[in-house]
Amino acid sequence: MLSYRHSYHAGNHADVLKHSILVQLLAYLGQKDKAFQIIDTHAGAGLYALDSVHAEKLGEFRGGIGRLWDRTDLPPMLAAYVAEVRALNGDGTLQAYPGSPWFSQRALREQDRMRLFELHSTDFRTLDSYFGQQGKQCKVFADDGFANLKALLPPPSRRGLTLIDPSYELREDYSRLIQALKDSLLRFPTGMYAIWYPMLAKPESKQLPRQLKALGASNWLHATLSVRGPSPEGFGMNGSGMFIINPPWTLAATLQAELPWLTAALAEDEGACHTLEHEST
């Protein structure tokens, strides 16, 4: 039984890192006329009301998108991200937050395709109501995203982005992620893969970056953002990471310039920090 609901965490610091990078990846794909495919293996509900009981219970968006909403000094990557969120909030009041499918759909052109997977029954119904009536361009599945990658890769155009961000509430999510990527890279080695993960005290979380590097991709980027130091008890998520396989060549320089600014903007204590490493051969 899946219990994780992203509606409790929508717009938090992890979403800011994930979605600001996602906007950059989508813009890069759109620079060429040739079609691309987006696969979102754990799409969630797609859109989130920030005045809902779930969002208000923890109020995590206030420490994430809420800290950027009224800033007038946003650097370019973050300005592009916030502009996308503003497009969903037409009156200028921060009332709703987009999930990854919304950002992706905004980038689609007539020739592009998007495939969304979500197993949580309630979130699937919401996702399907937003994105399921768009014909062949967007398909929504109440199915296992990991298990369906083989059937979708490589895309006919040989251009695509696969976004993988499970809840990691199940221990096997970590091992299934690594196996799915091994299989995907064999089928589609030139594809772009964006993996989000939480920074937690559990061993599986700490080992994941090393396992991702060991996959042998010749071109990768790894960025992390922690908004506070780890709790002495080892509870909670103090930060998150994004691991990109075959990233745009400009992304490392962009993050090098903007991650320090973002860390300062979202910092909750003196333990806030960021890391950035990349390899290209």
| pLDDT attached to residue 55 | 65
**What residues pair up with 279 in beta bridges, in sequence order?**
220
Q: CA 255 to CA 73: how far, in whole Å?
A: 16
Could you tell me which of 10, 161, 21, 6 has the C-alpha nearest to residue 81? 21
Q: CA 230 to CA 238: how far, in whole Å?
A: 6
Alpha carbon of 122 to those of 6, 134, 155, 270: distances in Å?
12, 20, 29, 39
Backbone angles phi, psi at 101, to 5 degrees: -60, -30
Q: Nearest 5 degrees, angle CA 85-CA 88-CA 91? A: 105
Residue 31 structure tokens: 């620079």
Active site residues: 165
Query: Would you give per-residue pLDDT tens digits along the chain (281 residues)?
Result: 454 557 788 999 999 999 999 999 999 999 999 999 999 999 999 999 998 877 677 789 999 999 999 999 999 999 999 999 999 999 999 999 999 999 999 999 999 999 999 999 999 999 999 999 878 899 999 999 999 999 999 999 999 999 999 989 889 999 999 999 999 999 999 999 999 999 999 999 999 999 999 999 999 999 999 999 988 777 789 999 999 999 999 999 999 999 999 999 999 999 999 999 999 98
| pLDDT attached to residue 1 | 44
Q: How far is CA 269 from the centre of its chain?
A: 24
Specify the amino acid at residue 264. Answer: A
Specify the amino acid at residue 215. Answer: L
For the chain, the C-alpha Rg in angstroms (whole number) is 18
| pLDDT attached to residue 236 | 83
| pLDDT attached to residue 51 | 87
pLDDT, one tens digit per residue, over 108-127 is: 999 999 999 999 999 999 99
Cis peptide before 203 (omega within 30 of 0): no
